[in-house]
Amino acid sequence: MSAPQSYYVPVDAGEEEFTEKRSHFLGHVRRVETEAEARAFLDEMRKKYYDARHNCWCYVLHEGGVVRYGDDGEPQGTAGQPMLNVFQREGVENVVCVVTRYFGGVLLGAGGLTRAYAKSAKDALDAAGKARMRLWSAVTVDCPYPMLERLKLLAAAHGGTVEGTDFGAAVSVRILLPQENAAGFDAALTELSAGTMTARREGERFLPGPRE
């Protein structure tokens, strides 16, 4: 079976705002898993900013390759599509973005609108951060107490993260490792412990990595 496709997702909720020729733009980014979640967030923003001239939006879902956007009264092609282009260029999926515009009385023109909506989406994405979805190997290592800190350092050196620890006669340490680094970790663990510690495989998971 082939490995799942790699792509990026937002890390946190992201919000940014700026003013362009007296028009005020507020960009919001959220991570979502379904179209219903994306639509619910869009409805939430429409209600919150009910007094704004425009609430333009887009979302991209990995499952099913769903891509949607809307200009909400702006000239066609000047809002939703430029916002969508930001996420496609960055490789970000499972994301919804809403950019709210309070009109300031000065027309920006098609080019000005396109740049403003793209900037607002990009600023909100930068605030949220992105992480790459990847395949991780879950392992458990039974570790003597005096070796615990060295084991944590070894996991970090191989791009891993300690998911949890259970304390008993020894410490049972649950570690997530990038799949491609698991074999190197095994070899380094054998060397570190002179063969007294081994990593038990507990399966694989497709999860986001650290913020990039």
Alpha-carbon span 109 to 106, nearest angstrom: 9
Show pLDDT as tens, one digit a residue, over the chain (212 residues). 344 577 999 999 999 999 999 999 999 999 999 999 999 999 999 999 999 999 999 999 998 899 999 999 999 999 999 999 999 999 999 999 999 999 988 889 899 999 999 999 999 999 999 999 988 999 999 999 999 999 999 999 999 989 899 999 989 999 999 988 999 999 999 999 999 999 999 988 888 888 88
Query: Taking the CB of residue 94, how many other CB atoms lie within 10 A of it?
Result: 24
Query: In this predicted structure, what is the pLDDT of residue 212?
Result: 81
Q: Under a CB-based contact definition with an 8 Å cutoff, are residues 74 and 113 in contact?
A: yes
Please report the pLDDT score of residue 28 as a whole number.
98
**Who's near 11: CB < 8 A, 6+ residues apart?**
31, 128, 129, 130, 131, 208, 211
Angle at the Cα of 131 from the Cα atoms of 130 and 134, rounded to 5 degrees: 155
- Per-residue model confidence (pLDDT) at position 2: 45
Q: What is the SS3 assignment for 168?
A: coil
